[in-house]
């Protein structure tokens, strides 16, 4: 969602406030195009990130509804290297995309981002992403930290032009966040983050 954050997966380096340094892709050229998309399914928050100190976002393509997202035009090699970094593997090996492009889903391992999905295409170019092997109903839901929500809100604002109050209403109602956050508390966290109150990768109350 957040273009600047994705740039670290491609070019390598450590994002501001993060404890993790990304090795980057073999091909460090930026995406040739970026476009806002609505994917069939739902965003949910689960598990625990040591980087973000809370639940992290996953995509359930089988869930009713639509999930705002952002598509980046990258090469198959770049996609392989980006996915490898989220799978906590060393980039440098091309993934076999035959399964996901044929069946729409392929599981490379049991890890949190080791399941590839292809929910559709744009101009005959497949849209691929990665998520957890479990769906919302089977997931270990966990509320995200304020800094993580701020990162997603930046992407929603950049990609879809959403104002902060709309971002807050959307994020507060996603499974894992609902019941722990409200639209009001998320909006307060987003406003504080926009004023420099918290940075991606920092713990924050919420």
Is the pLDDT score of 36 beyond 50? yes
How much is the average pLDDT of 46-53?
90
Q: What pLDDT was estimated at residue 10?
A: 98
Q: How far apart are CA 63 and CA 182, in angstroms?
A: 22
Structural domains present in the chain: 3-194 (3.10.490)
Q: How far apart are CA 90 and CA 87, in angstroms?
A: 9
Q: What pLDDT was estimated at residue 172?
A: 98
Is the pLDDT score of 145 beyond 90? yes
Q: Where are the alpha helices (DSSP H) in the chain?
A: 3-11, 76-86, 98-103, 146-160, 164-172, 183-194
Q: Average pLDDT over the chain, rounded to whole?
A: 93
Contact predicate 70/33, CB 8 Å: no
pLDDT tens for each residue of 174-202 = 999 999 999 999 999 999 998 875 443 43
pTM across the whole model: 0.91
Q: What pLDDT was estimated at residue 195?
A: 86
CB atoms within 10 A of CB 195: 8
Q: What pLDDT was estimated at residue 197?
A: 52
Is the pLDDT score of 203 beyond 50? no
């Amino acid at each position: 969602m957040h273009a600047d954050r994705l740039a670290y997966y491609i070019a390598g380096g450590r994002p501001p406030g993060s404890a993790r340094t990304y090795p980057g892709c073999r091909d460090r050229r930026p995406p040739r195009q970026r476009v806002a998309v609505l994917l069939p399914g739902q965003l949910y928050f689960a598990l625990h990130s040591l980087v973000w100190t809370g639940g992290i976002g996953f995509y359930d393509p089988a869930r009713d509804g639509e999930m705002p997202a952002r598509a980046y035009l990258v090469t198959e090699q770049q996609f392989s290297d980006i996915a490898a970094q989220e799978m906590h593997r060393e980039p440098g090996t091309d993934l076999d995309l035959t399964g996901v492009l044929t069946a729409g889903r392929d599981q490379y391992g049991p890890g949190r981002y080791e399941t590839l999905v292809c929910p559709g295409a744009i101009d005959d170019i497949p849209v691929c992403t990665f998520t957890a092997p479990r769906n919302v109903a089977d997931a270990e839901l966990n509320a995200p930290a304020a800094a993580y929500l701020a990162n997603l809100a930046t992407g929603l604002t950049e990609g879809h032009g959403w104002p902060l109050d709309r971002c807050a209403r959307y994020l507060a109602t996603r499974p894992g966040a609902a019941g722990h956050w409200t639209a009001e508390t998320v909006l307060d966290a987003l406003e504080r983050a926009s004023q420099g109150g918290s940075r991606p990768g920092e713990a924050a109350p919420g």
